[in-house]
């Protein structure tokens, strides 16, 4: 695939960054690493950056400090990672779109790709990931599938409103998802 001048801003007033948003289990980190490798860019995973700064796992932050404190860490970390509009590839946590300030920063940072899959597919992926199951804090007490349905009902308009492109991931390998993102990115206005 031909890759164009990827450091030019994607539209007026927006930076050269490439950011992945979407629910847990959509493959943001895996695809982000592939994209960064192909583009020769630095890859940043917001969750890992939060853990490094807080010196705790995400699960520990939720358990010891609660979700609002986690969201504060997330907001501060996103502000740092996007400051100065670096030409990086950034994978965000599934709830990074909840705060308006984060959405504004991510939009200014650059091109926003939203990775999607149906709740039933996400539930299968999350349940197959034993390590993730142990490490991932529950967001509700509803159980995996019902939690995804409930949380996505609330988040979908936020993902939709922020995204430059929605990429359906169900029938695609991570490499194919990366191809689709680059195609759409390269053909942006
Ligand atoms: C969350 C998703 C997680 C992590 C935290 C909260 C969410 O990131 O930020 O557990 O609210 O959806 P991933 O989407 O990378 O799993």
The model's pLDDT over 6-58, given as tens digits with 9 standing for 90+, comes to 444 455 579 999 999 999 999 999 999 999 999 999 999 999 999 999 999 99
Nearest to 51 by CA among 34, 65, 39: 65
Question: Which whole number is the average pLDDT over 52-70?
Answer: 97
Buried b (16+ CB within 10 A) or exposed e, 143-158: ebeebbeebbeebeeb
Q: Whose CA is nearest to atom 3 of ligand 1?
A: 93
From the alpha carbon of 74, which atom of ligand 1 is closest? 9
Distance 106 CA to ligand 1 centre (A): 16
Nearest to 19 by CA among 130, 162, 128: 162
Instruction: Quick: pLDDT tens for 91-120.
Output: 999 999 999 999 999 999 999 999 999 999
Q: What is the distance between the alpha carbons of residues 114 and 151, in angstroms, rounded to a whole number?
A: 16
Pocket test for ligand 1, best of 20, 24, 32 (most atoms within 8 A of CB): 24
The distance of Cα 2 from the centroid of its chain, to the nearest Å, equals 24
Task: Find out whether 19 and 92 touch, Cβ atoms under 8 Å.
Answer: yes
Q: Whose CA is nearest to atom 5 of ligand 1?
A: 93
Instruction: Quick: pLDDT tens for 164-174.
Output: 999 999 999 99
Mean pLDDT of the chain: 93
Written as one string, the DSSP assignment of 161-174 is: HH-SEEEE-TT--H
Structural tokens at position 134: 């142990």
From the alpha carbon of 95, which atom of ligand 1 is closest? 11
From the alpha carbon of 136, which atom of ligand 1 is closest? 10
Confidence class of residue 188 from pLDDT cuts 50, 70 and 90?
confident
Task: Find out whether 68 and 74 touch, Cβ atoms under 8 Å.
Answer: no
Pairing relationship of beta strands 89-91 and 17-22 according to DSSP bridges? parallel
Confidence class of residue 189 from pLDDT cuts 50, 70 and 90?
low
Instruction: List, chain by chain if needed, residues with CB within 6 Å of any ligand 1 atom.
Output: 24, 28, 47, 58, 93-95, 136-137, 139
Pocket test for ligand 1, best of 71, 93, 150 (most atoms within 8 A of CB): 93
pTM, 2 dp: 0.93
Q: Whose CA is nearest to atom 8 of ligand 1?
A: 93
Return the percentage of the chain with pLDDT > 90, whole number.
Answer: 88
């Amino acid at each position: 695939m031909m890759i164009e001048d990827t450091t030019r801003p994607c539209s007026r007033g927006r930076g050269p960054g490439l950011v992945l948003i979407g629910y847990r289990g959509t493959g943001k980190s895996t695809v982000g690493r592939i994209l960064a490798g192909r583009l020769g860019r630095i890859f940043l995973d917001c969750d890992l950056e939060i853990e490094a700064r807080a010196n705790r796992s995400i699960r520990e932050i939720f358990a010891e400090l609660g979700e609002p404190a986690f969201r504060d860490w997330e907001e501060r970390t996103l502000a740092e990672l996007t400051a100065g509009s670096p030409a990086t590839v950034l994978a965000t946590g599934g709830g990074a779109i909840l705060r308006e300030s984060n959405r504004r920063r991510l939009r200014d940072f650059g091109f926003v790709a939203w990775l999607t899959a149906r709740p039933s597919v996400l539930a299968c992926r999350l349940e197959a990931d034993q390590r993730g199951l142990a490490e991932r804090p529950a967001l509700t007490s509803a159980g995996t599938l019902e939690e995804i349905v409930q949380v996505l009902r609330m988040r979908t308009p936020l993902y939709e409103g922020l995204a430059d492109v929605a990429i359906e991931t169900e029938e695609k390998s991570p490499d194919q998802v990366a191809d689709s993102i680059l195609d759409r990115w390269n053909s942006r206005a």
